[in-house]
Amino acid sequence: MRLFTAVYPSPEASAHLDLALGSIGGAAVADPGAGLRWVPKEQRHVTLAFHGEVPDGAVPGYVEALRALVALAPPFDVVLAGGGSFGRRTLWAGVGEGASGLAGLARAAEDAAAESGFRADDRAGGRPHLTLARASTSRGMPNRGATRRPRDLSEEAPLAQWAHALAVYRGPSWTVDRVHVVASELGAGRSGGALHTDVAQLPLSGA
């Protein structure tokens, strides 16, 4: 199965983010037009480690190894702060407080995956973030071989506008008290997106 390990924002933190996006983009949040797809609210997460395709038989061992490691970590608070875009194609919200705690959980996922015989690409140690939307190649990047001309920011709207506005965003704190191990089935979700299913929820110490 295609697997990743993540933490999820609280409903309050996600709702606050929705209000901020609505104030920036208005109706475009609900109907962004062709070429831009919002991540479903229930799928918003901060990835700790991406594992890719993992043999089904290796997953239970990984879950138990990770369970033992995260049970040693106390709950901690996280704040979504800042944001931007990757390659003018991916809109994201960043992490302020709590980044070091997320990096520790990412290391635990890496150790548990190594013990279980598969990879764990660290997604939280460098720049932890929560992906909000993705633009298509045709909308997000210029075509190869196309004639260069002055950049028109309207062609990148609303992505560029949201990225610029999110640079000063700061949300409410929420407490990370569990880690999710998630199976991702491409093309099986809404509108042809991925379907995410919890394989396990692993509590931190005292949670």
Identity of the amino acid at 137: T
Kindly tell me if the per-residue pLDDT of 125 is higher than 90.
Answer: no
CA distance 162 to 145: 28
Q: Which residues contact 150 (CB under 8 A, 6 or more apart)?
A: none
Determine if the peptide bond prior to 128 is cis (ω within 30°).
no
Q: For 84-110, what is the mean pLDDT?
A: 91
Provide the pLDDT for residue 24.
67
Local structure of 11: helix, strand or coil: helix
Cα separation, 11 vs 87, in Å, equals 29
Give the integer Cα–Cα distance in Å for 3 and 54.
7
For the residues 49-73, what does the mean pLDDT come to? 96
Q: Is the pLDDT of residue 137 over 60?
A: no
Bridge partners, 30 (sequence order): none
- Helix, strand and coil content of the chain, in percent to the nearest 5, comes to 35, 30, 30
Mean pLDDT within 7-14 = 96
Calculate the CA dihedral of residues 90, 94, 99, 104 and round it to 10 degrees.
-20
Q: Which residue has the higher pLDDT, 126 or 21?
A: 21
Count of beta carbons in the 10 Å neighbourhood of residue 158:
21
Mean pLDDT across the chain? 83
> Which residue ranges form the domains of the chain, and what is each CATH number?
2-141+153-203 (3.90.1140.10)
Percent of the residues in the chain that have a pLDDT greater than 90, as a whole number: 57
Smallest CA-to-CA distance from 58 within 122, 125, 8, 120 is with 120
Give the model's pLDDT for residue 23: 76
Residue 206: pLDDT band (50, 70, 90) is: confident
User: For residue range 25-45, what is the model confidence (pLDDT) as tens digits?
Assistant: 544 444 444 466 888 889 999
Mean pLDDT, rounded, for 86-108: 91
| Residue 156 pLDDT level (bands cut at 50, 70, 90) | very low
**Predicted model pTM:** 0.82
Neighbours of 57 (CB within 10 A): 9
